[in-house]
Structure formats: C-alpha cells, structure tokens
C-alpha cells in the first residue's frame, strides 16, 4: 500500500470561465504561453504532447466564445514568421497566470522539441493518408506530422507559417472554382503556390433502410445529419447546398441549424461521419464515396471536387517538400489514386496552377 501511495502525484488546476463557458485550464494556458515564446503552435503541441488538431480546436473555441482573435501571424524573423498572441491573448494569459501564482503554483519548465521534417495540415483525405505512408515506408521522409483541421484551418496554418503543405478543397460558388479564390481571405496571394491534386467524389451517404432523395429531405426534420466541422471544405459545400435549398423553400437560412437535427453536432473526419451513420447516431451525411462504400452505405452522387495542395513559396526548396511534390507527380501516385473508388487523377496533377 505504501509503495503505491508513494507514487501518487497531485496537480492543481485552475479553470477560467467566461459567461459560464470554459476558457482556460492549466494545459491551455501552457499552450498559449509556449506559442508566444516559441512562435509556433506546432512546437507548443510537441512540447505538451498534444495533437495539433486538438490544440487548433481549443484555440478556435476560445475565439468563438470571446468573439475576438487570441492568435495572429508573426511577420518576419529568422524563421520567416510564425504565430504569436494578440494583445487580448497576452492579457488573457497574464491574467490567468497571475491568478495561478496567487494559489502558490508556478509554470513548469519545458524542453524544446525536435520538429518534424514535413508538416501537412488541412482537410482529411484518405488518399493523402496513403501517400504519406508511401513516403514513410520508402524512407523518403520519416518524420511527418499530419493534422486534420479542415481546409480553412490548413490555409490558416500556412498563413501562420505552421504548415509546409495544406490540403484543401474549398469551393467558391461565385467563381465555381476551388481553393484559389480563398487565398486572398488568408493574405496568401503571391505568397504561395497551388499544386493541382486529384478529383474526389462527394456523396450523400445513408443506411440502406433510409429513404433519401436529396438535400431537400433534410428540411423535413425527420432525418438526423452527421455534419462536418466548421472550416472543412465538405461543411462549406454542404452549407452552400442548404443555403440554396432554403431560398427555394422560402426558409430563412439563419434557422437552418435549428430545423435540421444533428446540424450542430460536428464530426472531425469522413470516417467519423460514416461511423455515426452506421452506428445509428445519424441518418445521412455528406462525405466521400470512398469512405461511404467502405462502410457499406448507400450513396447519392453530389459532385466531383478538386483536392489541391497549397505551399508557401519560401518552403518550395525544402527537401521534404520537394520530395512530396515529386511523389504527387509520380506514376505510382497516379495508379494509387485511380485505384481508389470515388477518386480520379486530374490531368494536371502535380502542376502549379497558381500563380
């Protein structure tokens, strides 16, 4: 008994709330502190041993609660920029740390981590998962960090100089094109190249005992939606479909989250969407045919979309980035993509389509 008790350790935590919503705890405060010191979300995640995607979601949640930014791009510097806290972020962190010190607890020291050779952040894609495994298995790039935070999160990570490569498939309904129109929103015009990837088939997936004819059926209130995370390309495309359908029915777009069951329940990956449907927690979701068929779901075709890769110009000469681009252009990847149901090789795969 004494031997067991001698190994028990206690840690004190302090929860900061804003209007009854959790803002910070000890780990999140450490995340903010290290981001500001290291100039990198990824470095902070490595030090704290937490997934980049979880850190990204936590930061986004704080900003949604406050309605203001707590991180922003750091310009210039030896590493060509990075991430820093906004003035609000700094004040919030200092306020928390001062309260923490009042109870006699101080911040822990940390050791700087070894950073990955290649960092890919963006929208979840099963083909990209296989390409990454190809790079690793052949010893081309061994230490690769991959985080699924959505297409918008990928572009934001490029803006913050966190990622080498962002995978994205954001559709612009005004131009009816993908990805390039969104560069301006993230201040990436003339700072990046967009490399053509491949085409993916988006479908509505549902169980075989469900009757589903199209997006209009979601407005009946009888079907539960498995929705993707805010900022994902799939969520953006679905929101556009729902917006157009609402206008057709004379329904205010603002009440869509209230009248479609499950709209506010977010699923991180395409696999999560499929699992929610299979397990009976949802009835229908917009996802990839590749994933839907793996789970034995029925499919209704929606569109073929463009999944591309965005790279900062300053990273193009990095060895691991060059190897990734060469791999995307290879015959092996073309064969791989064409072998996957719901995927097609684009005739311009691997080519720079912007600028």
Which CATH number belongs to the domain containing residue 207 in this structure? 3.40.190.10
Q: Does residue 29 sit in the same domain as residue 56?
A: yes
pTM over 0.95: no
If you search the block for the tokens 């190994």, which residue do you land on?
A: 7
Q: Does residue 334 sit in the same domain as residue 285?
A: no
Q: 1-39: per-residue pLDDT in tens?
A: 667 777 777 666 788 888 888 888 888 888 999 898 888
Q: 255-307: per-residue pLDDT in tens?
A: 999 999 999 999 989 999 999 999 999 999 999 999 999 999 999 999 999 99
Q: Does residue 170 sit in the same domain as residue 214?
A: no
- Does residue 144 lie within any of the structural domains? yes
Separation CA 23–CA 341 (nearest Å)? 43
State the pLDDT confidence band at 78, using cuts at 50, 70 and 90: very low
What is the structure's pLDDT at 11? Answer: 67
Buried b (16+ CB within 10 A) or exposed e, 30-46: bbbbbbbebbbbbbbbb
What is the structure's pLDDT at 75? Answer: 67
Which CATH number belongs to the domain containing residue 33 in this structure? 1.10.10.10
- For residue 74, pLDDT beyond 70: yes
Q: 33-62: per-residue pLDDT in tens?
A: 989 888 889 888 888 888 888 888 899 899
Q: Does residue 168 sit in the same domain as residue 317?
A: yes
Q: Residues 349-354: what's their mean pLDDT?
A: 95
**Angle separating helix axes 126-137 and 319-329, nearest 10 degrees:** 120
Q: What is the mean pLDDT of the chain?
A: 90
- For residue 139, pLDDT beyond 70: yes
What is the structure's pLDDT at 26? Answer: 86
Q: Which residue did the predictor score with more confidence, 78 or 285?
A: 285
DSSP code of residue 149: -
Domain end, chosen from 102, 126, 144, is at: 102
Query: Which stretch of DSSP H or E encloses residue 60?
Result: helix 52-66
- For residue 124, pLDDT beyond 70: yes
- Does residue 4 lie within any of the structural domains? no
- Looking at the structure of the chain, the number of domains it has is 3
What is the structure's pLDDT at 338? Answer: 95
* Residue range of the domain that includes 175: 118-198+307-346
Q: Identify the burial level of 345 via C-beta atoms within 10 angstroms of its C-beta, where 0-12 means exposed, 13-18 middle and 19 or more buried.
A: middle
Q: Does residue 94 sit in the same domain as residue 216?
A: no
Separation CA 267–CA 296 (nearest Å)? 19
What is the structure's pLDDT at 77? Answer: 47
- Does residue 108 lie within any of the structural domains? no
Q: Does residue 298 sit in the same domain as residue 268?
A: yes
CB within 8 A of 199, min separation 6: which ones?
304, 305, 306, 307, 343, 344, 345, 346
Which bin fits 18, alpha (ψ -120 to 50), beta or left (φ > 0)?
beta
- For residue 313, pLDDT beyond 80: yes
State the pLDDT confidence band at 351, using cuts at 50, 70 and 90: very high
- For residue 341, pLDDT beyond 80: yes
List the single range of 77-91, 132-146, 181-195 with lowest mean pLDDT: 77-91
What is the structure's pLDDT at 328? Answer: 95
State the pLDDT confidence band at 76, using cuts at 50, 70 and 90: low
DSSP codes, 197-247:
EEEEEEEEEE-TT----SGGGGGGS-S-B-EEPTT-HHHHHHHHHHHHHHH
């Amino acid at each position: 008994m004494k031997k067991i008790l001698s190994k028990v350790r206690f840690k004190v935590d302090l929860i900061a709330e804003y209007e009854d919503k959790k803002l910070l705890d000890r780990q999140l405060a450490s995340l903010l502190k290290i981001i500001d010191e290291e100039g990198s979300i990824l470095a902070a995640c490595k030090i704290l041993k937490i997934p980049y995607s979880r850190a990204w979601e936590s930061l986004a949640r704080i900003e949604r609660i406050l309605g203001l930014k707590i991180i922003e791009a750091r310009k210039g510097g030896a590493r060509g920029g990075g991430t820093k806290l906004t003035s609000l972020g700094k004040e919030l962190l200092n306020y928390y740390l001062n309260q923490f010190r009042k109870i006699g607890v101080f911040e822990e020291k940390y050791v700087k981590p070894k950073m990955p050779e290649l960092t890919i952040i963006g929208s979840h894609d099963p083909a990209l998962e296989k390409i990454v495994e190809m790079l690793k298995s052949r010893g081309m790039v061994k230490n690769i960090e991959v985080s699924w935070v959505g297409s918008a999160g990928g572009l934001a990570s490029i803006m913050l100089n966190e990622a080498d490569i962002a995978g994205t498939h954001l559709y612009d309904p005004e131009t009816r094109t993908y990805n390039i129109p969104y560069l301006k929103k993230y201040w990436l015009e003339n700072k990046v190249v967009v490399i053509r990837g491949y085409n993916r088939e988006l479908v509505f997936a549902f169980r075989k005992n469900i009757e589903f004819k199209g997006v209009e059926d979601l407005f009946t209130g009888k079907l539960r939606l498995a929705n993707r995370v805010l900022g994902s390309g799939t969520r953006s495309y679905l929101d556009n479909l729902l917006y157009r359908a609402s206008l057709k029915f004379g329904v205010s777009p603002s009440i869509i989250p209230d009248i479609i069951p499950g709209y506010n329940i977010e699923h991180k990956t395409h696999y999560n969407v499929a699992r929610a449907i299979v397990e009976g927690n949802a009835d229908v979701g917009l996802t990839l045919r590749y994933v839907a068929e793996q789970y034995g779901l029925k499919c209704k075709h929606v569109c073929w979309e463009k999944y591309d890769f965005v790279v900062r110009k300053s990273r193009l000469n990095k060895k691991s980035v060059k190897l990734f681009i060469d791999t995307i252009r290879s015959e092996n990847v073309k064969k791989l993509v064409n072998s996957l149901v719901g995927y097609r090789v684009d005739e311009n795969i691997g080519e720079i389509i912007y600028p």
